[in-house]
Amino acid sequence: MSGQDKIKKAFGEKTWNDVKTENSWQIFKIMSEFVEGFEKLGKIGPCVSIFGSARTQPDHEYYIAAEETAYQLTQQGYGVITGGGPGIMEAANKGAKRGNGKSVGLNIDLPFEQFSNPYIDPDKLITFDYFFVRKVMFVKYAQGFIVLPGGFGTLDELFEAITLIQTEKIGKFPIILQNKKYWKGMFTWIKSTLLAEKNINAEDLDLFHLTDSPEESVEVINKFYCKFMFKPNF
């Protein structure tokens, strides 16, 4: 169904019974996704969520960096959570698998781009219909976020986490933007515009770290948790 067809359908007349039935079934579907996520992820232990573009090719430096980052995390005892698809997600799951660590994939059903990669542990692959349920799982079961270069979806996940920490809906955990050159423009805009216009506080800039290598990113995670016991964020 095209975008225009979806809009036309939304404005089409519906009976009260149509609305009630459709909404009721949607609620049950949402509940089932939460239940499956909680059951499968509840015992995975300390993990780090790694984000980035689904379009990154295996020979690209970002792909190679994502794989190495995930590998190094597993050597420190962390599992790895990704969006389950290709690109940076595949690289991170591949690195986790190479390191004999837990490799989790939270896939999303999309009409293009997204398909599950082969490096996810079979018992740790979940496919969602709803982005918001999937994002809850990313945050609830992660002890940190490492964000590599990506597009709108990557930014959505990044700012969701920053907002939850800023508003104290969850405890503070490390959010790392890996590859300073890629993120420099956004960071400059945040300081020159959001901060200058007083739409954020100066201390909000401390909610995330910029790094340039897998080693730096893993070091930030380790330093943060060297004095804490691992625990879920919700």
The answer to whether residue 220 is domain-embedded is yes
Helices within the chain (DSSP H only): 3-11, 16-41, 61-75, 88-98, 131-140, 152-166, 180-189, 214-225
**pLDDT (0 to 100) of residue 100:** 96
- Give the chain's domain count: 1
Tokens of 194: 């959001």
Question: Rounded to an integer, what distance in angstroms lies between the CA atom of residue 216 and that of residue 190?
Answer: 23
**pLDDT (0 to 100) of residue 226:** 81
The answer to whether residue 176 is domain-embedded is yes
**pLDDT (0 to 100) of residue 114:** 62
The answer to whether residue 10 is domain-embedded is no
The answer to whether residue 80 is domain-embedded is yes
The answer to whether residue 231 is domain-embedded is no
Q: Which residues, given as ranges, of the chain have pLDDT below 50?
A: 230-232, 234
Q: What percent of the chain has pLDDT over 70?
A: 86
Domain that holds residue 84: 16-225
The answer to whether residue 73 is domain-embedded is yes
The answer to whether residue 77 is domain-embedded is yes
pTM of the model: 0.86
pLDDT digits (tens, 9 = 90+) for 183-225: 999 999 999 999 999 999 999 999 999 999 999 999 999 999 8
Tokens of 1: 């169904």
- Its sign, for the CA torsion 186, 190, 194, 196, is negative
pLDDT digits (tens, 9 = 90+) for 21-30: 677 788 899 9
The answer to whether residue 130 is domain-embedded is yes
Question: Rounded to an integer, what distance in angstroms lies between the CA atom of residue 29 and that of residue 136?
Answer: 16
CATH number of the domain to which 153 belongs: 3.40.50.450
